[in-house]
Amino acid sequence: MPEIHRREFLKLVGASAGAAATVGCSDPVSKLIPYVIQPEVIVPGIANYYASTCQECSAACGLLVKTREGRPIKLEGNPEHPINQGALCARGQASIGRSYHPDRYKTPMKRVGDKLEPTTWDDAIAILSGEIKRAGNRTWMLGGQTGPTASAWIDKWVEAVGAGGRVVYEPFAPEALREATQALFGVASEPVFDLSGSDLIIDFGSDFLESGPSPTEHARQFAEARDIAKRERGGARFVYIGPRLSMTASNADEWVAAKPGSEGLLALALLKVAIGAGGGTQAGRDGVAAPLAKIDIAAVAKQADVPLATIERIGKALGAAKSPVLLPPGVALASRRAAATARAVMLANWALGAVGKGVSIPAPRDGKLPSYHQTLALVDAMKQGSVGVLLVHGSNPVYSLPPSTGFSEALAKVPFVVSLASMPDESSERANLVLPDHTPLESWGDAEPRPGIRSLVQPTLRPIYDTRALVDTLLDVARAMGADVAAKVPTDSFRALVEQAWAGTDFHAALAKGGVFAAQPGVEVTLVGSAVDFEMAEPALEGDGDFTLLTSPGALLYDGRGANLAWLQETPDPVTKITWVSFAEISPRAAEKLGGLVFGDVVEVETKAGKLSLPVVVRGGVRDDVIAIAIGQGHTVGLWSSGTDSGHPGEARGVNVIDVLPALTDESGGRAWLLTKAKVTNTGRHEKLPICQDSQNQRGRRLGLAVPLAELAAGDAHVEAEHGAADAVPGAGESAPGYPAHGEAAHGEAHGSHEMIKAFDASMDRAPDSPYRWGMTIDSDKCTGCSACVVACYIENNISIVGEEQVRRGRHMAWLRIERWVGDGNLEGGQDRLPIFPDAESSSTVDIRIAPMLCQQCGAAPCEAVCPVIATYHADDGLNGMIYNRCIGTRYCANNCPYKVRKYNWFDFALERWPDPMYLMANPDVTVRGQGVMEKCTFCVQRVASARQIAKNENRVIRDGEVTTACAQSCPTHAIQFGNLVDKTSAVAKAGSEPVRGYHSLEELNTRPAVTLLAKVQRGTVEG
Amino acid sequence: MPTLLGVFTTPAGVVQAVTHLKGRGFTNLDVYSPAPFDEIEEAVDPKPSKVRIFTLVGGLLGVVTGYAMTIWMSLDWPIVIGGKPFASIPPYTVIAFELTILFGGIFTLIGLLVVGRLPSLKVGPGYSARFSAEEFGLVVEVPERDVAEVDGLLRASQATEVSLVAA
Amino acid sequence: MTPPPGESIAAMIRQTPVPPDSQTNRDVMNIFMTTPGLGWLLLVGICLGGLGGGAAVWIYQIYKGLGIAGYSHPIFWGAYIVTFVFWVGIAHAGTLISAILFLFRARWRNAINRSAEAMTIFAVFTAQLFLGIHVGRIWKAYFILPYPNQRALWVNFKSPLLWDTFAISTYTLTSLIFFYVGLLPDLAIARDRTTGWRKALYGSLALGWQGTSRQWKSHNRTVLHLSGLATPLVLSVHSVVSWDFAMAIVPGWHATIFAPYFVAGAIFSGFAMVLTVMIPVRRIFSLEHILTNYHFENMCRFLLLTSTIVTYAYFIEYFIAWYSGVEAEKTAFYLRLFGPYWLSTWIMIVCNGVIPQLFWFKKLRTHIPTVFVISTLINVGMWFERYVIIITGLSREFNPAVWGHYTPTWYELMIVAGSFSFFSILFLIFLKLFPVIPISEVKELVIHERAHASGQPAGAH
């Protein structure tokens, strides 16, 4: 029971007043027991931060693990880490949940009959070593990518135990890209893209802001490249080429909805125009003359279904660009000709002189790399029964390999399957023996995302259960197999191994810092002779049907590894705002063709490989001939990943689109995803989906504003005019923090109410003697909608997960949500109960406004006035306080909040949705809310409070930047600024005083918000 | 002293009798009537009822309490709410108004009980159920020597019957 | 009289014979003195069922949480508040009839005011239940009272909900007092004609009332003053309730017309409810000669008047929404008519605005079955009026990202049904325990008539 667990925390924290304030009087009072022997590093109530490395994807961002009394309670980015520089994406934030996941294997398990039963390590090791002895070289290892140290050692181990070999398998591996680089420059490594210096970014569907090679890093660079304050003429332009308006594409200036598969041709066509317009280096022009000669732009325009004019225009712009960067397709558009496509794009990069500037080719990495064709080869071997023992680690092939590979059957042919997963998944459930691995927070390890950037993983949590690190397990096996075997892999433990590997460095300094960061520059490359002679043709698609099946990586679930993290399931999809379920995106025209489908109608999607049925989302952001389904759902095992959470154990949650993909590769043998056509038929069924934004049409209400670049230049005059208007208002004495930019005509409505707006100074809304008025500035021109802040908020504030059914009933608890608006909107929609996706989304000029919405901490808060019991009030430092214990649940405040940021505990969510041992990760500084109380954002008041304590001890005021909220801390683009509005020199005050872009959400209501939004900048389509 | 009871069927008769009796100086009299009749009450006691004072006091007490309570409680622990002044009169007027009515009502009830001498346990002389039917009863104390006269006087003003209910 | 020689005057004391009881007494007493019939018991049984169901759901809801109701973000208020406002509305007829019509000396009120007052009290009780049912933490609900506590925590007198608390409790107490004071003489009548437990009950409640002119005098004065107090109270209570909405900034709530609009609506629904209840009562207990068509017709006139006021308010709401030029308001009202809740809206408009217009025709005004049907329809319409105001307002607010939807769950409907049972049970018991017609007031009229019609023998009419 969380109540009790929270009290345990309080014991440790030694809270007295705090406890009294946060605990209802009815609760029993229990003793506070101090440490008998005070651990040196642990001061009760004070957090310790340890540097480590995120293991969620290959980007390997640096972590600061915030621990309290020996327990990690939150993951934050490591500011000193060169990759993420302090930010951390949603997936990284949520990954803390792995350690406290209720599903975890608590001991080794062995199969007895048809189910797994607990056993001891000795027993398990004995069994395994025996099996390996018997199987000898018929022993194989199949697993995800591990850190360099572990990887190298495991190869040694495979040799030592005389196993057949090891295959590294990652569902999303940039094999085609590596192949292309090899072919072009003779260097087999995936290129590194740096967008920060670029002035024109053309993305051929890599979705670099969500599922690319290094999303957090790229988001930061993207924001730098487009920083209105620093870059002249609005900074970099961004063109997105791809069939679906993804989260990344929503940040583009222009969307070219090209036919999927035509990217390579488009790249060459654009290059041809660019060079024709005098772009590119001399070497480049000469180098690519031959292949470009074969390119007929008009024909490409036809094939790609893109207006010729568009290609001409963008091509010219490309030619004129000083430092363009072209990003090759990612997973979604990895066709059967992925290698050629990547080659075409990289060739363009090289010809335009991007290679060496925005694009660098690192030295090839040593050690085993993921390989899909090796994986398929292993599957064949398994089918032929030539695999005796299969060790599976760090991956879930049963889920992520297409059934058409026959992996499942092949696995049945393997006499002894060992899983080293730490949590049950489709693969581990098939194992004969499960040797649970530590979670990354419990384990040692290292990573080397780039040559020279070496990042350490250190344990920050004593293993909660009887688990062992992969390497230690294998080590024990080796020992059990005999001294001679053990001698071939000489080390005492994984920790010792890591220390050996880092021998050259000051290990403790590295631990403190998070690693050794000496990035090596990319290697000098020149075009190899044979580089340019390749055929760039459109890829063939399997099967028939009117639709091309587009399978994009889940923006939050990635390849499905995020599915068992409740936070990622409950955080709305950045584009459609749907949670927990699978859905297919089709265009309104397509929906019309299929008999007038609407949001939630269930369709059947059939390919050669199989069929599945799922509800549709009808939105303009998809090509008419494409049906887009995200990868990641459809698990049948796991508390939150499967139907278990909704009371259907063993049933799939949503659908796994991989099930209907053929097992085909690209030319390089890498895994291809854009493979097949699909027949789509209407089943006539309808489902209500758990969606969190009922309308992306803001009806011209001042929620998400945008300002054309031109108007920004002519800003000051414009502001003067506005001030005139403001002063005309009676009582508009104080200095106005800036007035909203005019969007287009559509919100003439809002303009009508302009004279109702009173100018005000938010910093005045505090107690006269208070040195603080906390405020926030959110720059919607920088916000990409990645949702890192949302997850950060969930974990910082112990926000309850409510689950699919409750979200469906509109009871999502997030304190911070990211609203996505399509343009200024119009007055259409709302007659029925269906969510609204404006058709305007299909426009090639992207006008998506992303406005994070959280409690505005109003100076004249409508919620406060109506609470009968003063459960919410205006604190001295200007915060809109919320006293949970005083709340009796009339819910009047929530009715009266125009922003609708107050969330109500309809059930005892804290009790029902925090199964053991999840309570261990609860933030002891934040009350866990009980049934029947209202809750909301208070600018992480607990963080403010601790900062104030420190300042008080040194009797000074809190310095700017000394305290920040969880959301601001996690933001890769620094779109969110938090600070003290009284201090006019503070970052937040400066940012908030942006003359033209600054505005307040719904300000005609005169609620005097402390949150200032900065309007999105409309850079318009790219011009040559 | 003997008490005579005259029974009437119309208020008019009662009024007539009462005025005559009072004229003759028999002031120690009372009337049982099945329903309220202003003329009778006028005749018996022309002075306005004291209940009004109770209502007035109650009302005044209410309005004072209303404002005092709200303002004091807001200032006892001043908390900023919705950017409004600590003690803001307009909303508090609603509370004051309600309390005015409440106290006024309660005091009026008390007034009824006090002035109307309720609750009373003793049954009045000559009271019977007929007076909660449709007849009127006039009881008057008269010295023994005047019994005959009063008897006549009652009958003269259409008393349906006259009887001696106490000696 | 002269005493016979040799005897003392005391010897002349003798019991005077008690004449036959009055017609009015007997008529009224018959209603509540006769032992309950099968129909009555059956009705009570049914209501007990409904009440039990509602109570069970409520207990479950306290245990499990308000999530079992159809709420969502942003629709934080639902059927409970709707029904609360509905009952508060019903509660307005009684005091209005007793107080305002008393001040206007509308004699015809006498026949109906007792039952109307009873209805008032029961309706307020029922309404208050919903305050408890609605809050999320009823075990902490006492926080809403300004009781002294060592934490020096007071309440927020700026909140309309607190005004509500004061208004409703004031209304309950004042109505109770009014009801009791009016009942006092009739209790005495009952006391004089009963035996056993009833005598004990009425006797103790009657406080020894004997109808002396002193008692009547203060009684009259009391009734006058209570009427004086109750009249503004009646108008204030529903104004305050309306401010729960009008004081909020929710589009569709934030309107200055709400106070008069709600008061008119309340009187409208109250009178409708009186008719819906009294028509069967009159039929069953055959009170046609006391509760004449004349009374009913007058009430129908009232319904016609208030219906027109309410309809006017509906119209003005739309006009202002358009005139304000605020898009959120316009949208809210447009979608009220043509949005997801169009059906509720049209039910409300037809039942409250169109159908009552039939009362322009005397034929229909005086045709009791028609009156019964229409008054019932008005009750339905008025429930939906509150449903429309609350739900459509919340479902289409300022931020389209959080537009939401609401459908009452079975749990909620059971509680609503339970509240009707609760009300009915109270009224059924009242019928069997107290004079449903104010005897003494009716008698006043009877005697007056008789006095004017000269030369008639006493007690006959």
pLDDT score, position C195: 87
pLDDT score, position A753: 44
pLDDT score, position A437: 95
User: A321 pLDDT band (50/70/90 cuts)?
Assistant: very high
Structure tokens given for A680: 């789509």
pLDDT at A11 over 70: no
What's the CA gap between A467 and A420, in Å, rounded?
10
Task: Decide if A543 touches C, using CB distance below 8 A.
Answer: no
pLDDT score, position A29: 55
CB A1022 within 8 A of CB A844: no
Cα nearest neighbour of B86 on chain C: C158
- HSE on the CB side for B128, CA within 13 Å? 18
User: A721 pLDDT band (50/70/90 cuts)?
Assistant: very low
What's the CA gap between A121 and A423, in Å, rounded?
17
pLDDT score, position A727: 37
With beta carbons under 8 A apart, name residues in chain B contacting A867.
81
User: C17 pLDDT band (50/70/90 cuts)?
Assistant: low
Task: Decide if B167 touches A, using CB distance below 8 A.
Answer: no
What's the CA gap between A198 and A859, in Å, rounded?
41
Q: Which of A4 and A99 is assigned the larger pLDDT? A: A99
Pairing of strands A610-618, A584-586: parallel
What's the CA gap between B14 and A741, in Å, rounded?
87
- Beta carbons of C451 and B163 less than 8 Å apart: no
pLDDT score, position A974: 94
What's the CA gap between A936 and A199, in Å, rounded?
40
With beta carbons under 8 A apart, name residues in chain A contacting B84.
865
Q: Which of B67, B94, B123 to mutate to test the interface with C (most CBs of C within 10 A)?
A: B94
Q: H-helix or E-strand containing A375?
A: helix A372-383
Pairing of strands B3-8, B136-141: antiparallel
pLDDT at A31 over 80: no
- Please state the rounded mean pLDDT for residues C38-59: 94
pLDDT at A455 over 80: yes
What's the CA gap between A47 and A69, in Å, rounded?
7
pLDDT score, position A823: 92
Structure tokens given for C17: 């014979």
pLDDT score, position C12: 62
Q: What are the C-alpha distances in Å from A196 to residues A53, A200, A226, A358, A749? A: 23, 11, 8, 8, 39
Q: Which of A707, A769, A777 is nearest to A742 (CA)?
A: A707
Q: What is the pLDDT of residues C161-182, one digit of tens each?
A: 999 999 999 999 999 999 999 9
With beta carbons under 8 A apart, name residues in chain A contacting C250.
895-896
With beta carbons under 8 A apart, name residues in chain A contacting B82.
860-865, 874
Angle formed at CA A334 by CA A333 and CA A338, multiple of 5 degrees: 125
With beta carbons under 8 A apart, name residues in chain B contacting C215.
116-118
Q: What is the pLDDT of residues A49-77, one digit of tens each?
A: 999 999 999 999 999 999 998 899 999 99
Angle formed at CA C245 by CA C243 and CA C246, multiple of 5 degrees: 60
- Beta carbons of B76 and C154 less than 8 Å apart: yes
pLDDT at A1024 over 80: no
Q: What is the pLDDT of residues A278-304, one digit of tens each?
A: 888 888 888 888 888 889 999 999 999
A195-209, B86-100, C14-28, C242-256: least confidently modelled range: C14-28
pLDDT score, position C14: 59
Task: Decide if C364 touches B, using CB distance below 8 A.
Answer: no
Task: Decide if C459 touches B, using CB distance below 8 A.
Answer: yes
> What value of ipTM does the predicted structure carry?
0.91
Q: What is the pLDDT of residues A482-505, one digit of tens each?
A: 999 999 998 899 999 999 999 988
Q: Which of A74, C293, A956, A71 is nearest to A63 (CA)?
A: A74
Cα nearest neighbour of A756 on chain C: C326
Q: Which of B48, B97, B109 sits opposite C177 (nearest CB)?
A: B109
Q: DSSP readout, B53-109?
A: HHHHHHHHHHHHHHHHHHHHHHHHS--BBTTB-SS-HHHHHHHHHHHHHHHHHHHHH
CB within 8 A of A912, min separation 6: which ones? none
Average pLDDT, chain B: 90
Block residue for tokens 């004593």: A462
Q: What are the C-alpha distances in Å from C252 to residues A226, A983, C306, C390, C402? A: 42, 40, 21, 8, 16
Q: What is the pLDDT of residues A739-755, one digit of tens each?
A: 233 333 333 333 444 55
What residues 44-83 of chain B have any CB closer than 8 A to a CB of chain C? Answer: 44-45, 48-52, 55, 59, 69-70, 73-74, 76-77, 81-82
With beta carbons under 8 A apart, name residues in chain C contacting A690.
none
Structure tokens given for A921: 């990760």
pLDDT score, position C3: 52
Q: Which amino acid is at C238?
A: H
- Please state the rounded mean pLDDT for residues A791-812: 94
pLDDT at C142 over 70: yes
- Backbone φ and ψ of A918, nearest 5°: -60, -30
What residues 682-711 of chain A have any CB closer than 8 A to a CB of chain C? Answer: 693-701, 703
What's the CA gap between C379 and C307, in Å, rounded?
12
User: A875 pLDDT band (50/70/90 cuts)?
Assistant: very high
Structure tokens given for C289: 């000669």
A133-137, A638-642, A720-724, A928-932: least confidently modelled range: A720-724
Cα nearest neighbour of B148 on chain C: C1
What's the CA gap between B132 and C26, in Å, rounded?
12
Q: Which of A764, A766, A873, A886 to mutate to test the interface with B (most CBs of B within 10 A)?
A: A873
The neighbours of chain C, by the rule of 3 or more Cβ pairs under 8 Å, are A, B
User: A924 pLDDT band (50/70/90 cuts)?
Assistant: very high
Q: Which amino acid is at A302?
A: K
Task: Decide if C343 touches A, using CB distance below 8 A.
Answer: no
Average pLDDT, chain A: 89
pLDDT score, position A751: 41
pLDDT at A1 over 80: no
pLDDT score, position A640: 93
Q: What is the pLDDT of residues C380-439, one digit of tens each?
A: 999 999 999 999 999 999 999 999 999 999 999 999 999 999 999 999 999 889 988 888
Sheet containing strand A254-256, strands side by side: A254-256, A237-241, A200-203, A324-327
Task: Decide if A856 touches C, using CB distance below 8 A.
Answer: no
Residue contacts between A and B (CB atoms, under 8 Å) = 28
Q: What are the C-alpha distances in Å from C170 to residues B74, B100, C84, C408? A: 22, 9, 16, 31
pLDDT score, position C460: 36
- Please state the rounded mean pLDDT for residues A665-680: 92
Q: What is the pLDDT of residues A219-248, one digit of tens each?
A: 999 999 999 888 888 899 999 999 999 999
- Backbone φ and ψ of A509, nearest 5°: -60, -45
Cis preceding linkage at C36, omega within 30: no
- Backbone φ and ψ of A837, nearest 5°: -120, 100
pLDDT score, position A883: 94
| Secondary structure letter of residue A352 according to DSSP | T
Burial group, residue A197, by CB count within 10 angstroms (0-12, 13-18, 19+) = middle
CB C111 within 8 A of CB C291: yes
Write a three-state SS string for A838-891: CHHHHCCECCEEEEEECCCCCCCCHHHHHCCCCCEEECCCCCEEECHHHCCCCC
What residues 881-920 of chain A have any CB closer than 8 A to a CB of chain C? Answer: 886-892, 894-896, 898-900, 903-908
- Beta carbons of B101 and C162 less than 8 Å apart: no
Cα A210 from chain centroid (whole Å): 5
pLDDT score, position A790: 96
Distance between start and end Cα atoms, chain A = 64
pLDDT score, position C10: 59
Q: What is the pLDDT of residues C67-120, one digit of tens each?
A: 999 999 899 999 999 999 999 999 988 788 878 878 877 777 777 888 889 999
